[in-house]
Amino acid sequence: MLFAALDRRAYDPGMAIDLEQLAIVHYPHDVLRQMAAPIAEVTDEIKSVAAKMIELMHQAPGVGLAAPQVGLPWRMFVANPTGEAGDDRVYINPQLSGAAGGSAARDEGCLSLPGITVEVTRPTEITIRAINLEGEAFEDSGDDLIARIWQHEYDHLDGVLIIDKMSPMDRMANRRAIKELEEAK
Ligand code: ZN
């Protein structure tokens, strides 16, 4: 059931989504901690939401945005490592596999965690399988930035945030920014 896991404070499943109301939500919004639900079918609504997410990603600007970050606990994210319009990609019900190439530690930010940077260690190469907006399954392999984006956005679908991966030093460096977000809720 597509809407079973929706956060009612973020979205009433009885109502159509108002695209104009979709906006990036910040930690500690509850939807960011939910396990997102698979998308049963690529409907016109899903396509409209994906287009709006791409728009919000570019506006931010960012290189990736997951549906929970706009208040919708759906297994979908968008990514664009270059910022060029032709490089927009949509990944529905993604699965990651084939981690390779060793691991690398890089600073990551998150549109739902403004002002916060965390050094995250991730595999440098990964394979993704997902559904596109035509409802077709596809597979892609990537390394470096795109591999990192896929893993970061995938984490969002499981309710995982970069602040879960902080070293003691990152925890200290980000303490004030996290507290300010928590107090702004
Ligand atoms: Zn993020």
Q: How far is the CA of 110 from the centre of ligand 1 (A)?
A: 4
Q: Which two tokens stand for residue 94?
A: 């993604």
The pTM of this model reads 0.92
Q: Which residues have a catalytic role annotated?
A: 153
Residue ranges of domains in the chain, CATH in brackets: 19-184 (3.90.45.10)
What distance in angstroms lies between residue 157's CA and the mean position of ligand 1's atoms?
10
Sheet containing 137-143: give its strands across.
Answer: 64-66, 76-79, 89-108, 118-131, 137-143
pLDDT 10s digits, 35-87: 999 999 999 999 999 999 999 999 999 999 999 999 999 999 999 999 998 99
